[in-house]
Amino acid sequence: MTILERPLAEADTDACLRLVAEAGWNQTANDWKTIFEIGETCGLFQDGTLIATAAIVLHGPVGWVCMVLVTPSAQRRGHATHLLKWAGNRLDELGLTAGLDATPAGRQVYLHLGYTDIYPITRMQCDGPLPRATTNSSPAIRAVMADDLDALLALDHDAFGIDRSALVASLIRRRPDLASGIFDGDTCLGFVLAREGRRATQVGPLVARDEALAVELLHHVLDRSEGPVFIDLPDGHVALRAALEARNFTAQRTFTRMLRGKTQAFDDTRLVFALTGPEFA
């Protein structure tokens, strides 16, 4: 049995989506397009058929390991471990810190590869947000405009500590109807973005100077969302989680944010109220 290893390209998108569907994940062709634009990929092929993938998304000093997928018939043959080592070696070459969001099962593998727990995450989901219970007056939340990008990126950098400008710009383009913020002159006090998914709208990132603003931004985006919604919360945001539960959200699964060779987070969960998703940090 001969396995061919090579970088993936946009021509492989349909094959990548087949693996996503087999795993029951939420990514779309647009997610893969973003990964091809701002990251690097590796695929394993058997007799011309894609059987496994991995990617690293490059965010300045951090390389985000993601999309580690293996088709069911090829699992338990070491392909995932091989691809994780590819990602780690490539990030070592680039001088970047490796990070990822691990499922409980994956976490055991990553611990043996030198990754350290940073903080826990809970994915909340609903089939459709319930109307909010109250209609209290909200801050001046409005759609994000092209001229807002610098202010929004300044807050994103304060929150995440890394350069995510290409990612943020791509998210705004994907769902401009949901990209919303609170601004004080040239300063962004909070923003929320979202993207379409194969199974649900993924809300995030949600970044704000305090939790009260984050809750209002959350309600704003949920009021404009239809159908199933996923949102990944760093644990500890009590008011935000209560607001989600009041609107029909329940916990779906947990993740652990992990870094290799570091014990301190690069992002500040005092400002980060919802993450972009395990694909993008």
User: What pLDDT was estimated at residue 139?
Assistant: 76
The confidence band for 136, taking pLDDT boundaries of 50, 70 and 90, is low
CB 274 within 8 A of CB 62: no
The confidence band for 134, taking pLDDT boundaries of 50, 70 and 90, is confident
- Is it the case that residue 80 has pLDDT exceeding 60? yes
SS3 readout for 144-197: CCHHHHHHHHHHHHHHHCCCCHHHHHHHHHHCCCCCEEEEECCEEEEEEEEECC
Q: List, for residues 226-248, the tens digit of each pLDDT value.
A: 999 999 999 999 999 999 999 99
For residue 222, what is the enclosing H or E element? helix 211-223
CB 79 within 8 A of CB 69: no
User: What pLDDT was estimated at residue 137?
Assistant: 56
Mean pLDDT of the chain: 95
Q: List, for residues 138-147, the tens digit of each pLDDT value.
A: 679 999 999 9
The confidence band for 135, taking pLDDT boundaries of 50, 70 and 90, is low
User: What pLDDT was estimated at residue 132?
Assistant: 87
- Is it the case that residue 55 has pLDDT exceeding 90? yes
Distance CA 161, CA 154 (A): 10
Q: What angle do CA 213, 122, 244 make, to 5 degrees?
A: 45
